[in-house]
Structure 1
Amino acid sequence: MTGKQYAVVLRSPGIGGWFAVLICQRFPVAMAPLALVFLGHAVTGSYAVGALLGGGHALAEAAAAGPLGRRFDVRPTPRETASVLGVEAAAFAALAAFAPVLPVAGLFALAAVGGAISSGAHGGLRALLVRVVPAERRVPALSLESTVSTTVWAIAPALVAVLAVLDARLPVLAMALLAGAGALAGLRLRDPGPPPVTARAGLWRLGWPAMVYDGAVMFGFGAVTLALPVLLTGFGARADLAGPVLTGCTLAGIAGALAYGARAWKGTPLAHAMLLATGIALAIGSAALVPSLGPAVALLALAGLCLTPALTARAVALQDRLPRSQWAAGFSGMYAAGGLGYGAAGLAVAWLLERTGAQAAIGLCALAGAVPALGSSALEVRSTARVPAEYGSGG
């Protein structure tokens, strides 16, 4: 089976409305880092304040994703989606309207609220998706979700840049409008209802290897993103070529996600995730060793090709481990871990660049990410070999 997998998913009842909400939820998150930098600079004259707002948004999102994802496990998804996206819309609308007169603390608080309040929606919408599509189509369904999310992340910075030319507050206003549209569309989501609540004690015990995996993989790949301009200049190229190179990695990731979901692959999703994580580490590590630009860029594109399906496969493996009533919290925990891993990569790269250079920094971060990603997954393989899976995919 190839594209027929996707056709079945797209014919699932209510899936069109689900994708509409997904897009409205993802765009504000993807626009926020650059939009908040521009806004902070416009109203204070300082890019440092803009970075502070972006950092506050990201940290609040990471901190709140797990607890707020849990709300989607015990409440109807339409009502919860509408509530959190409505508050997010209000926070960003207030930020756009009152930014010129607010103190930095006020700007930071609104940016943090906008990041935190809807952070559980990532896992909540993913959990809803795997509840409403046929159980045997969850891999193509999650591949489509990853494809849409990756596409949004590719488009969002360009949209912010275009709007900011007119007024630095316009991107934040657009974020508010998109979140508001998502809140209205969320009320129309088709939801079979939250599953029966089970004991919560096993969530972190069962889910921590997947969360370590996402954090570690994003640590390794985040180092590429953050060190790429310096890497390019080291090869004698212009730093602004980082944009096209990262776009190429994004397109490769979309292709990888679609290829992964288009057919059934031998082995378990956990085995797929481990194989793909190995491919990412080898590609990035090799890019840190080659002596010329062309092969390095090709290897980074190969890492991008593996990245999106790797995260998809790991999400499917986690779903197999958790009961239905913990899917949203588990997916949200993975999302938060990925954000923390990316943020940690920024700190590591900042420290390593001046001491080792870009290629060594990228290689060391790739190795540092691969070890916990593969080690935690190996421990999960051992535990599942000893104890049969408790819950299965659950449909």
Structure 2
Amino acid sequence: MSYASLLQAPYVTRLLLGTLVGRLPSAMAALAIPLVLREVGASYDYVGLAAGGFAIAAAGGGPLLGRLVDRAGQVRVLVPAAVAAGLGLIAIALAPSEPAVVLAGAVLAGAATPPLEPCLRVLWPDLVPAARLESAYAMDSASQELVFVGGPLVVAGCVAADSPVGALWVGALLGLLGVLVVATASPTRRWKAPVRSPDWLGPLRSRGLAVLLVSLTGVGAAIGGLNVLVVFYAEHHDMVGGAPTLLALNALGALIGGLGYGAVRWTSSPPRRTLLLTVGLAAAYALLCLVPSPPYMAAIMILTGLFLAPVLTAAFVLVGKLAPVGTVTEAFAWLVTLMTAGTALGSSAAGVILEHATESQAASVGVLSIAVGAVVLAAGQRSLVVRDADAARAAA
């Protein structure tokens, strides 16, 4: 089954597009909120506080909303969350000069961000044949890059047509529209999580899942460090298009890598495959320490992306297998949260190093972070193996 045939399967295209549209506000808010606040003369300290509040609230709210989905169903959580997140963005748009309103709106918009990523990944086993599930995850992983490219482009269009405030209104509308497309689909309305026994740890009681999530935090740190590094690199090298060009090349590599991964019939086990791909990602990031001239830097950015999407795809497969019964949505939400937390840590570390050391040393943040994740994966290989009996219970 090709990607074209996957997209032709009932509800696949609808749910994938709805999820992508519904996730655009997150990528838009990261840029639109600072632009709106700067337009009214806010200081960079205040801008950072508001943007950070949005990001932290989104990271913290994800697992909580994921747990609610596992207990109440997708529709009952997605729609109210989209409304609440939209109201948060609109509050900022209506009163950008009121600090209390802006901060409350940023926190509300972040905390209520609809968990569309986890919800779609939970639905894939119901949408495609088991033999093509990994291809579906690969298509999902690769398509994420469209959100990070499309979000800033929509903001740029809103700024050109009117002002940054318009981007917040558009973001609120797109978020609700995307969620309605997903929530009104039959697979979404039918989905119910298996009954589980109450446990405050939720999916984190799975040792294998905890190992996997810790390793992915290192991958997130590498991404965060790279985001800061390319800005510094573009300022000190004659690079056509600057940092956006480098990040776009990285996204292109991820798109190619994700689709290529899903087109291959793999024979190795998911735990071993995840480990090997993570080692490959670390090797690709190690090349950044050379700080080469722009043409070679462009090639390295594509290479790092080529490994990133396959690592995430292999991880998606493992999350679905390792999560205890009735906690799969929350498990995927934890993946997003810890990746986000890792990105924040990596960005901070790279920023401090660039202020006091060299580009090569800042690039080492990504290598070391992924290397630590690979060591954790290697040490926990046995815990990542899903026994047949466990898999049968999960399928039931």
Please report the TM-score for the alignment, with normalisation by the length of structure 2. 0.90
Give the partner amino acid of 2:131: E
Query: What is the aligned counterpart of 1:150 among 145, 149, 157?
Result: 145
2:383 corresponds to: 383
2:76 corresponds to: 79
Per-residue CA deviation, residues 34-54 of structure 1 (Å, 9 max, x unaligned), is: 111101112344343333222
Per-residue CA deviation, residues 181-214 of structure 1 (Å, 9 max, x unaligned), is: 1243233122332132223456213221222122
Sort the Cα spacing of 1:183 and 1:286 in 2 relative to 1 into closer, same or farther, 3 A: closer
Instruction: For residue 389 of structure 1, report the CA deviation from its aligned partner.
Output: 6.6
1:93 corresponds to: 90
Sort the Cα spacing of 1:177 and 1:119 in 2 relative to 1 into closer, same or farther, 3 A: closer
Query: What is the aligned counterpart of 1:228 among 230, 255, 267?
Result: 230
Give the partner amino acid of 1:122: E
2:195 corresponds to: 197
Query: What is the root-mean-square deviation of aligned Cα atoms in Å?
Result: 2.3
- For the pair 1:40 / 2:37, whether they are aligned, the reply is yes
Query: What is the aligned counterpart of 1:61 among 49, 58, 63?
Result: 58
Sort the Cα spacing of 1:333 and 1:162 in 2 relative to 1 into closer, same or farther, 3 A: same
Please report the TM-score for the alignment, with normalisation by the length of structure 1. 0.91
1:105 corresponds to: 100
What is the distance in 2 between the residues matched to 1:386 and 1:14? Answer: 29
Sort the Cα spacing of 1:149 and 1:115 in 2 relative to 1 into closer, same or farther, 3 A: same
Q: Secondary structure at the match of 1:391?
A: helix
Give the partner amino acid of 1:251: L
What is the distance in 1 between the residues matched to 2:180 and 2:115? Answer: 17
2:368 corresponds to: 368
Sort the Cα spacing of 1:289 and 1:183 in 2 relative to 1 into closer, same or farther, 3 A: closer
CA contact (8 A) 1:140 1:261 kept: yes
CA contact (8 A) 1:321 1:389 kept: no
Sort the Cα spacing of 1:202 and 1:61 in 2 relative to 1 into closer, same or farther, 3 A: closer
Instruction: For residue 138 of structure 1, report the CA deviation from its aligned partner.
Output: 1.6
What is the distance in 1 between the residues matched to 2:145 and 2:378? Answer: 28
1:180 corresponds to: 176
What is the distance in 2 between the residues matched to 1:202 and 1:177? Answer: 33
CA contact (8 A) 1:38 1:47 kept: no
**Identical aligned residues as a percent:** 25
Per-residue CA deviation, residues 56-104 of structure 1 (Å, 9 max, x unaligned), is: 111101111112111111222223222211221222223222334xx21
Instruction: For residue 255 of structure 1, report the CA deviation from its aligned partner.
Output: 0.6
CA contact (8 A) 1:76 1:194 kept: yes
What is the distance in 2 between the residues matched to 1:384 and 1:309? Answer: 17
CA contact (8 A) 1:323 1:391 kept: no
Sort the Cα spacing of 1:20 and 1:289 in 2 relative to 1 into closer, same or farther, 3 A: closer
CA contact (8 A) 1:26 1:149 kept: no
Sort the Cα spacing of 1:371 and 1:76 in 2 relative to 1 into closer, same or farther, 3 A: same
Sort the Cα spacing of 1:265 and 1:386 in 2 relative to 1 into closer, same or farther, 3 A: closer
Deviates more, 1:366-375 or 1:50-59: 366-375
Instruction: For residue 296 of structure 1, report the CA deviation from its aligned partner.
Output: 3.0
1:338 corresponds to: 339
Q: Secondary structure at the match of 1:325?
A: coil
Give the partner amino acid of 1:184: L
Per-residue CA deviation, residues 100-155 of structure 1 (Å, 9 max, x unaligned), is: 4xx21220111111111125332123212333332222211112222222112112
CA contact (8 A) 2:285 2:366 kept: yes
Sort the Cα spacing of 1:123 and 1:337 in 2 relative to 1 into closer, same or farther, 3 A: same
What is the distance in 1 between the residues matched to 2:384 and 2:49? Answer: 42
Give the partner amino acid of 2:177: A
What is the distance in 2 between the residues matched to 1:224 and 1:287? Answer: 9
2:19 corresponds to: 22
Deviates more, 1:197-206 or 1:293-302: 197-206
CA contact (8 A) 2:135 2:262 kept: yes
CA contact (8 A) 1:229 1:242 kept: yes
Give the partner amino acid of 1:64: G
Per-residue CA deviation, residues 242-299 of structure 1 (Å, 9 max, x unaligned), is: 1111111111110111111123212122222222221221111122125533323312
What is the distance in 2 between the residues matched to 1:153 and 1:138? Answer: 24
Instruction: For residue 336 of structure 1, report the CA deviation from its aligned partner.
Output: 0.3
